[in-house]
Chains A and B, each alone.
Chain A
Amino acid sequence: MNPLRDVWQDFQEYDNLARIGEIGRRYFAMNAFDGVLTIIGVLMGNMTARVAEPRIVVSTGLATCVAMGVSGLWGAYLTEAAERKRDLDELSRHTLSDLNDTRIGQASRVAVVVVALIDGLAPLLAALVVLIPFFMTALFPAIVWAYYASLGVALLVLFSLGLFLGHISRGNLILYGIRTVVAGIVSILISFLLGE
């Protein structure tokens, strides 16, 4: 049998048992949204402080991305592990047996790792994408265009997240997209007013 297919089947079984997909989707959307809004804050802070050196924007942006990634990974790992241990212990009390070495216990452990990875990588990657224009500042006539491009990418990522949420809820995709973009615009405006 194909080993990849075996792994996929195992994962599907774990997904059924531990609802990894459902929780993963929630964490992904929530944390990618968090990541983009945070990096918008970093960009606006640099822009209103008139930072003209791309290296500074990139290094503060990357440091923020890494911090969000580590925070997501650590936080989700600890909270998920604690919650799932509690659920498994409660179920073990009902069956009067130790469920740690069963498929249920394995599914629970896999869920913790997958959810922690999603929680750490979602904000990190979403924020990294927003920073891309600052890696190619040579293409822009002035640094301010890199800021505009980054903010544009941020709004685009927010809109995509809205589409993703709309797809999950089977609702109006555009409406969801607009809602998430509005959050970005509000964040940009408030940061701009504070900076001025």
Chain B
Amino acid sequence: MGKIRRLVLDTLKPYEPSIIEMAAQLSELDGVSAVNISISEMDRKVENAKITIEGEEIPYPQVSEIIEQLGGVIHSIDEVVAGKQIIDDAVTPQG
């Protein structure tokens, strides 16, 4: 099975637990080497968080489990990179 090396998720989560807690827990997973979480939008009780994870072999089931345990919901998977190395999406004349 191919190894997932980068994952970009669009999530909605309550303010608490904070993104510090979420990033710390995600970064402790085996196969994850770095986590970046940024807030794109804030509501009265919830916030939209873009989670970028990179690693040798990202365990998606555990990633989604941690996010859900912390009260978050994955809205969409915005980017996945799998394989032997990380590549960015190719630039085409259409953009």
Show the binding face of A for B, using Cβ within 8 Å: 13, 16-17, 90-91, 94-97, 99, 102-104
Contacts and interface: CB of A to CB of B under 8 A. Distances in A.
B16 interface: yes
Number of chain B interface residues as a range: 10 to 19
Going nearest first, the 9 A-B pairs with the smallest beta carbon separation are A104-B71, A94-B46, A102-B71, A94-B45, A97-B73, A103-B69, A99-B71, A95-B73, A102-B69
B73 A91 contact: no
B14 interface: yes
Given A97-B71, A102-B68, 19 more contacts: A16-B16, A16-B17, A17-B17, A91-B14, A94-B14, A94-B43, A95-B12, A95-B13, A95-B14, A96-B73, A97-B68, A102-B69, A102-B70, A103-B17, A103-B70, A103-B71, A104-B14, A104-B17, A104-B70
A95 B71 contact: yes
A95 B72 CA distance: 7
Interface of B: 12-14, 16-17, 21, 43-46, 68-73
Contacts of B14: 91, 94-95, 99, 104
Contacts of B73: 95-97
A94 B13 CA distance: 9
Nearest to B14: A91
Nearest to A97: B73
Nearest to B46: A94
